[in-house]
């Protein structure tokens, strides 16, 4: 058995030495290529390579004919001589690579090739794509070949092979020779047809055609009837109004730099629009009417505001509100824009928030020590078998077959009694069998569901420690595609039990003190951290015992969520727990609003739609990470706060699964006062370590058995009324520390993920007090920006001030606390409380903020 005892310093030093010597011997190539410095170096290398190629190719177009003979004769001459003779600006190297790419292969279209090297290098270096790399690659590859073939046609037709063959390259020329045999001069037809096919499939002209159709489908000129016979054509006005057709909203991921470009474009358009709108107001309509008349004007085109057409001295023409294009009418256009943004920029990738983030490696965990001796000896097995058969026999129960399965902690003996034996009789003998086996923790499962046998679990004399490293490196976990994969333990048949917390959807854990709850929680947290990127998952950690989860503090800027301005991210104070739970309820409600607005049913669909750029960040949409709330000791909270804690927990447990908020709640005392009916009803998945009485076992699992467990991570999982015995893996404090250090040392977000502010009934601590010193120093600038744009949105601050989402969100919360913007209103931008900058400046002065 692997003894689970703390390792001494000497042992650790020896391990470190051993690790050190291994390091010296083997070079970690993966690490070298994956480190941020190397990616930057490689990226720049490829960009420079691209530039070198480009310069050589362009130079070769002018100097190639002279250089060809030098390159051909390079074997006879020394490189130095060849270098002197070549005329390429990049010498013999430039001439050689150009000779291969231009002369031998692609002709002058080779000048497109370096584009891929530069774009690829940019992506490697900066983790971003200024243009979609895969799209540009396809485009370049097509034009490289197509251009070469087209030039080949020109060369062949002009009969100038000797002087012009470099423009087509060897490939284009050879293809044309084949085509010429078949089609003579008509070989241009398949060449042009290839371009046509590519253009149709690649550029998808449908949008342009539709737009063209819309443009040409201008309704009949508006006619204004005056006094029966006077007809005034307003065609010019209609044309001008056409010019003020509002632009489709354009948006892309805030991560993309190009967002600003689009914004600027949009602003330019708006600027263009305004003067035209004014012109419309002033456009005189020449109407000569003796007396005021009623005029009717059909809606013609969309204008941003109701336009007033004034006819000086005679009448005023009110163009009705119907001319304002309703938001629903934008939907179709918006979808077209979404599609083109998606084509241009590809899917939104939240992990690009932290592009250089590296997942922790299993090597951070302790080595797995194999058991020195057999887990369960043959003698032990045989002895137990005989004793079971004898004990049952002495009560008149004969057995036809017995089979043993050795698990990490217990061995399962499955027996098939002879016909006519009542199951309840065997179940009642539990105590007697335990006595005869002289073992604690015997559990009888009668009958074994779906097996047609009766199971007797007998603890092994030498139990096996399940090391966290062995389960994290297990292929099933590595390849798991669950949304929130959590390792719970090893089953009796030595398989790893992985559950999807997203489906569970919440987990209730109980166990008497010292039976392995905290280790179990740490294993769950570690498995999530090993599989999820910080952009996809946030933890809210509640630790009333103050010592169990403190190590995770280092993950604040990566994985933790907290109330704004609330100091430590790990919540230990009961009052703060109440505020955080209520804040999570607000987050849940806000997420539901966003889901409703997006017409989707759950977080997965929502995020998929957002990734496809079908949800507009300008309307408050954002990528929603999963949130896992972990409470290490519920009993303590229930004793001190009762209903105040129970109600939000029950609410979250009831409703939060669809919006990606999941709960893992542990308690030492599984009494009905702690695990109330309300809480229990909403936690279908329950896990119990050893408890002190069968009453406690029934409270948590609705069945006895947890009091028979043998401790040290031995546990029972009840899920959908199925019960599984598992051995929880072991993770020690140092391992958690190493993982947290590894992640904590990497670049993270500006701060923890900000939960919405919660104002307690007495306006208590959840709401940050208006303390000017705590405010972000960019707050006045942000306030001015919001008032200038009259738009209370976080994304505006993010974009214009180039801030991360969390910091921008915090600033908006602070602006709300000083009354510059109104409260959060779901998916719409917040109200701006000041109409102009002078009012705002006065307010900031009074508040003492400059
Ligand atoms: N899965 C496991 N494998 C081996 N040993 C374990 C395992 N889980 C716990 N232990 C042993 O039990 C000890 C106590 O575990 P843990 O601190 O998780 O208990 P707990 O239930 O959280 O207790 P408390 O409620 O008092 O905090 C650990 O220090 C470890 O030695």
CB atoms within 10 A of CB 699: 23
Which among 462, 472, 496, 518 is the best mutation to test ligand 1's pocket, defined by most ligand atoms within 8 Å of the CB?
518
Q: How far apart are CA 232 and CA 849, in angstroms?
A: 59
CB atoms within 10 A of CB 214: 11
Q: What is the mean pLDDT of residues 788-809?
A: 84
- The answer to the question of whether 517 is labelled as a binding residue is yes
Q: Which residues contact residue 128 at a Cβ distance below 8 angstroms, ignoring those fewer than 6 apart?
A: 122, 255, 256, 257, 352, 355
> Cα 461–466–467 angle (5° rounding)?
140
Q: Are 205 and 199 in contact (CB under 8 A)?
A: yes
Residue 30: C-alpha distances to residues 34, 149, 745 (Å): 6, 41, 19
Q: Are 404 and 411 in contact (CB under 8 A)?
A: yes
48-65 tens-digit pLDDT: 999 999 999 998 888 877
Q: Which residues contact residue 814 at a Cβ distance below 8 angstroms, ignoring those fewer than 6 apart?
A: 564, 768, 775, 776, 779
Residues forming a β-bridge with 7 = none
CB atoms within 10 A of CB 195: 15
Q: Are 123 and 43 in contact (CB under 8 A)?
A: yes
Q: Would you state the pLDDT for residue 760?
A: 62
Which among 712, 714, 726 is the best mutation to test ligand 1's pocket, defined by most ligand atoms within 8 Å of the CB?
712
Q: Whose alpha carbon is nearest atom 3 of ligand 1?
A: 730
Q: Which residues contact residue 664 at a Cβ distance below 8 angstroms, ignoring those fewer than 6 apart?
A: 501, 506, 507, 509, 521, 524, 628, 629, 630, 631
Tokens of 19: 């690790």
Determine if ligand 1 sits within 6 Å of the CB of residue 519: yes
pLDDT at 306 over 80: no
326 CA → ligand 1 middle, Å: 62
pLDDT at 32 over 80: no
Helix (H, G, I), strand (E, B) or coil at 665: strand
Q: How far apart are CA 679 and CA 635, in angstroms?
A: 12
Helix (H, G, I), strand (E, B) or coil at 486: strand
pLDDT grade for 499, boundaries at 50, 70 and 90? very high
Q: Which residues contact residue 223 at a Cβ distance below 8 angstroms, ignoring those fewer than 6 apart?
A: 231, 232, 233, 234
Q: What is the mean pLDDT of residues 143-156?
A: 91
| Radius of gyration, CA atoms only, the chain | 37
Cα torsion angle, 773, 776, 778, 783, sign? negative
Q: How far apart are CA 532 and CA 429, in angstroms?
A: 47
Q: Which residues contact residue 213 at a Cβ distance below 8 angstroms, ignoring those fewer than 6 apart?
A: none
Tokens of 30: 């993966």
Q: How far apart are CA 74 and CA 91, in angstroms?
A: 13
Kindly report the average pLDDT of the chain as a whole number. 76
- The answer to the question of whether 393 is labelled as a binding residue is no
Q: What is the mean pLDDT of residues 344-364?
A: 85
Q: What is the mean pLDDT of residues 790-803?
A: 85
Q: Would you state the pLDDT for residue 239?
A: 36
Determine if ligand 1 sits within 6 Å of the CB of residue 409: no
Q: Would you state the pLDDT for residue 337?
A: 65
pLDDT grade for 845, boundaries at 50, 70 and 90? confident
**Rounded (10°) CA dihedral 839, 841, 843, 847:** 180
State the pairing for strand pair 410-417/454-459.
antiparallel
730 CA → ligand 1 middle, Å: 8
Q: Which domains does the chain have, with CATH numbers?
A: 35-203 (no CATH), 227-330 (no CATH), 388-459 (3.30.980.40), 468-708+720-744 (3.40.50.300), 767-847 (1.10.10.10)
580 CA → ligand 1 middle, Å: 28
Helix (H, G, I), strand (E, B) or coil at 128: coil
pLDDT at 247 over 70: no
Determine if ligand 1 sits within 6 Å of the CB of residue 518: yes
pLDDT grade for 159, boundaries at 50, 70 and 90? confident
Determine if ligand 1 sits within 6 Å of the CB of residue 363: no
527-563 tens-digit pLDDT: 999 999 999 999 999 998 888 898 899 999 999 999 8
Q: Whose alpha carbon is nearest atom 23 of ligand 1?
A: 514
Q: Could you write out the DSSP letters of every residue in 244-267?
A: TPPPPP----TTSTHHHHHHHHHH
688 CA → ligand 1 middle, Å: 13
pLDDT at 75 over 80: no
CB atoms within 10 A of CB 242: 15
**Rounded (10°) CA dihedral 602, 606, 609, 615:** 140
CA 473 from centre of chain: 23
For residues 395 and 115, the model is more confident at 115
149 CA → ligand 1 middle, Å: 72
Q: Whose alpha carbon is nearest atom 15 of ligand 1?
A: 516
- The answer to the question of whether 147 is labelled as a binding residue is no
Q: How far apart are CA 403 and CA 389, in angstroms?
A: 12
In ligand 1, which atom is closest to the CA atom of 511?
21
- SS3 of 700-766: HHCCCCHHHCCCCCEEEEEECCEEEEEECCECCHHHHHHHHHHHHCCCCCCCCEECCCCCCCCCCCC
Helix 794-801 with 258-282: angle, nearest 10 deg: 110
Q: Would you state the pLDDT for residue 523?
A: 95
Q: Would you state the pLDDT for residue 16?
A: 46
674 CA → ligand 1 middle, Å: 21
367-402 tens-digit pLDDT: 877 654 557 788 888 888 888 888 888 888 888 888
- From first CA to last CA, the distance across the chain in angstroms is 67
549 CA → ligand 1 middle, Å: 14
Which among 516, 551, 635, 667 is the best mutation to test ligand 1's pocket, defined by most ligand atoms within 8 Å of the CB?
516
Determine if ligand 1 sits within 6 Å of the CB of residue 697: no
Give the residue among 545, 547, 574, 579 at the shortest CA–CA distance from 562: 579
Percentage of the chain lying above the pLDDT 90 cut: 24
715 CA → ligand 1 middle, Å: 12
Determine if ligand 1 sits within 6 Å of the CB of residue 417: no
CB atoms within 10 A of CB 315: 18
Percentage of the chain lying above the pLDDT 70 cut: 74
CA 607 from centre of chain: 8
Cα torsion angle, 431, 433, 435, 437, sign? negative
Q: How far apart are CA 517 and CA 687, in angstroms?
A: 10
- Nearest 5°: phi and psi at 757? -70, 145
Q: What is the mean pLDDT of residues 30-37?
A: 61
- The answer to the question of whether 516 is labelled as a binding residue is yes
- Nearest 5°: phi and psi at 455? -105, 140
Q: How far apart are CA 344 and CA 351, in angstroms?
A: 19
122-132 tens-digit pLDDT: 888 876 667 77
Q: Whose alpha carbon is nearest atom 25 of ligand 1?
A: 513
Determine if ligand 1 sits within 6 Å of the CB of residue 511: yes
- The answer to the question of whether 138 is labelled as a binding residue is no
DSSP letter assigned to residue 674: T
pLDDT grade for 832, boundaries at 50, 70 and 90? confident
pLDDT grade for 335, boundaries at 50, 70 and 90? low
Q: Would you state the pLDDT for residue 464?
A: 85
pLDDT at 246 over 60: no
Q: Does ipTM top 0.85?
A: yes
pLDDT grade for 295, boundaries at 50, 70 and 90? very low
Q: In b/e form, how buried is each residue of 577-610, taking b as 16+ CB within 10 angstroms?
A: bbbbbbbbbbbbbbbebbbebbebeebeebbebb
Q: Are 619 and 529 in contact (CB under 8 A)?
A: no
Question: Is it true that the peptide bond before 447 is cis, omega within 30 degrees of 0?
Answer: yes
Helix (H, G, I), strand (E, B) or coil at 696: helix
Q: Would you state the pLDDT for residue 308?
A: 37
pLDDT at 220 over 80: no
pLDDT at 173 over 70: yes
List of E strands, 293-398 = 308-311, 315-318
Q: Would you state the pLDDT for residue 731?
A: 94
Q: Whose alpha carbon is nearest atom 6 of ligand 1?
A: 712
Determine if ligand 1 sits within 6 Å of the CB of residue 465: yes
> Cα 627–628–633 angle (5° rounding)?
145
Helix (H, G, I), strand (E, B) or coil at 487: strand
pLDDT at 761 over 50: yes
Q: In b/e form, how buried is each residue of 76-115, taking b as 16+ CB within 10 angstroms?
A: eeeeeebbebbbbebbbebbbbbbebbbebbbbbbbbbbb
Q: Are 818 and 842 in contact (CB under 8 A)?
A: no
pTM: 0.56
Residue 707: C-alpha distances to residues 346, 493, 685, 831 (Å): 55, 22, 18, 58
Q: Are 445 and 484 in contact (CB under 8 A)?
A: no
Determine if ligand 1 sits within 6 Å of the CB of residue 544: no
For tokens 């010597």, the residue is 21
Tokens of 642: 């009762």
687-723 tens-digit pLDDT: 999 999 989 999 899 888 898 898 899 999 998 778 8
In ligand 1, which atom is closest to the CA atom of 633?
25
Q: How far apart are CA 297 and CA 125, in angstroms?
A: 59
pLDDT grade for 629, boundaries at 50, 70 and 90? very high
């Amino acid at each position: 058995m692997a003894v689970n005892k703390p390792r001494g310093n000497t042992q650790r030093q020896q391990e470190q030495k051993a690790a050190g010597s291994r390091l010296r011997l083997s070079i970690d190539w993966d690490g070298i290529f994956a480190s941020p410095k190397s990616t930057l170096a490689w990226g720049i290398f490829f960009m420079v390579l691209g530039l070198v190629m480009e310069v050589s190719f362009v130079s070769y177009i002018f100097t190639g004919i002279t250089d060809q003979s030098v390159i051909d004769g390079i074997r006879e001459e020394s490189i130095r001589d060849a270098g002197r003779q070549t005329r390429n600006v990049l010498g013999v190297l430039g001439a050689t690579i150009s000779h291969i790419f231009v002369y031998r292969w692609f002709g002058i279209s080779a000048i497109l090739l370096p584009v891929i090297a530069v774009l690829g290098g940019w992506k490697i270096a900066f983790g971003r794509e200024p243009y979609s790399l895969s799209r540009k690659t396809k485009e370049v590859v097509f034009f490289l070949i197509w251009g070469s073939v087209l030039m080949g046609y020109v060369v062949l037709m002009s009969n100038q092979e000797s002087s012009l063959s470099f423009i087509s390259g060897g490939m284009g020329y050879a293809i044309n020779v084949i085509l010429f045999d078949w089609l003579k001069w008509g070989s241009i037809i398949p060449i042009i047809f290839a371009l046509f096919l590519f253009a149709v499939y690649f550029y998808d002209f449908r949008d342009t055609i539709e737009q063209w159709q819309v443009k040409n489908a201008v309704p009949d000129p508006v006619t204004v009837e005056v006094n029966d016979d006077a007809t005034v054509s307003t065609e010019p006005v209609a044309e001008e109004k056409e010019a003020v057709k509002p632009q489709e909203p354009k948006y892309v991921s805030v991560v993309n730099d190009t967002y600003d470009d689009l914004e600027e474009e949009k602003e330019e358009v708006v600027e263009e629009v305004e003067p035209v709108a004014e012109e419309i107001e002033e456009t005189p309509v020449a109407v000569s009417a003796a007396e005021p008349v009623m005029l009717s004007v059909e809606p013609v085109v969309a204008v941003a505001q109701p336009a007033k057409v004034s006819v000086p001295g005679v009448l005023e023409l009110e163009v009705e509100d119907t001319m304002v294009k309703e938001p629903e009418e934008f939907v179709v256009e918006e979808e077209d824009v979404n599609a083109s943004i998606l084509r241009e920029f590809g899917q939104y990738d939240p992990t690009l928030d932290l592009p250089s983030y590296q997942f922790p490696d299993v090597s951070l965990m302790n080595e797995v020590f194999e058991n020195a001796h057999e887990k369960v000896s043959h003698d032990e097995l045989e002895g137990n078998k005989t004793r079971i058969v004898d004990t049952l026999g002495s009560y008149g129960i004969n057995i036809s077959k017995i089979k043993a399965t050795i698990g990490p902690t217990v061995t399962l003996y499955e027996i098939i009694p002879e016909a006519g034996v009542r199951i309840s009789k065997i179940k009642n003998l539990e105590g007697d069998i335990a006595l005869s086996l002289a073992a604690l923790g015997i559990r009888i499962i009668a009958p074994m569901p779906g097996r047609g046998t009766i199971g007797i679990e007998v603890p092994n004399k030498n139990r096996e420690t399940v090391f966290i490293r062995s389960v994290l490196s297990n292929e099933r976990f590595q390849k798991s595609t669950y949304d929130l994969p959590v390792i719970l333990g090893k089953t009796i048949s030595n398989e790893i039990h992985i559950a999807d917390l997203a489906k569970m959807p919440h987990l209730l854990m109980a166990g008497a003190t010292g039976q392995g709850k905290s280790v179990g929680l740490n294993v769950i947290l570690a498995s999530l951290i090993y599989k999820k990127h910080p952009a996809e998952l946030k933890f809210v950690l509640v630790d009333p015992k103050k010592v169990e989860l403190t190590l995770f503090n280092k993950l604040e800027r990566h994985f933790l969520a907290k109330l704004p301005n609330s100091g430590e991210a790990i919540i230990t104070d009961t009052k703060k727990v109440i505020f955080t739970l209520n804040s999570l309820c607000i987050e849940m409600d806000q997420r539901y609003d966003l889901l409703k607005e997006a017409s989707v049913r759950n977080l997965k669909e929502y995020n998929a739609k957002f990734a496809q750029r079908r949800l507009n960040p300008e309307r408050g949409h954002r990528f929603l990470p999963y949130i896992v709330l972990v409470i290490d000791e519920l009993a303590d909270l229930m004793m001190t706060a009762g209903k105040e804690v129970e109600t939000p927990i029950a609410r979250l447990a009831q409703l939060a699964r669809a919006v990606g908020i999941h709960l893992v709640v542990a308690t030492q005392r599984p009494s009905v006062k702690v695990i109330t009916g309300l809480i229990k009803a909403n936690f279908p998945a329950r896990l119990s370590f050893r408890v002190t009485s069968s009453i406690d076992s029934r409270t948590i699992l609705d069945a006895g058995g947890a009091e028979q467990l043998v401790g040290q991570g031995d546990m029972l999982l009840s899920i959908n009324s199925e019960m599984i015995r598992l051995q929880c893996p072991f993770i020690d404090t140092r391992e958690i520390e190493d993982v947290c250090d590894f992640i904590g040392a990497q670049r993270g977000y500006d701060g923890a993920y900000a939960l919405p502010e919660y104002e307690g009934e007495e306006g208590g601590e959840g709401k940050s007090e208006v303390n000017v010193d705590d405010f972000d120093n960019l707050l006045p600038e942000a306030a001015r920006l919001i008032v200038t744009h009259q738009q209370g949105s976080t994304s505006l601050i993010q974009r214009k001030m180039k801030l991360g989402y969390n910091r921008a969100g915090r600033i908006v919360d602070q602006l709300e606390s000083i009354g510059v913007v109104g409260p959060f209103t779901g998916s719409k931008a917040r109200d701006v409380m000041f109409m102009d900058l002078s009012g705002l400046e006065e307010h900031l002065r009074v508040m003492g903020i400059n």
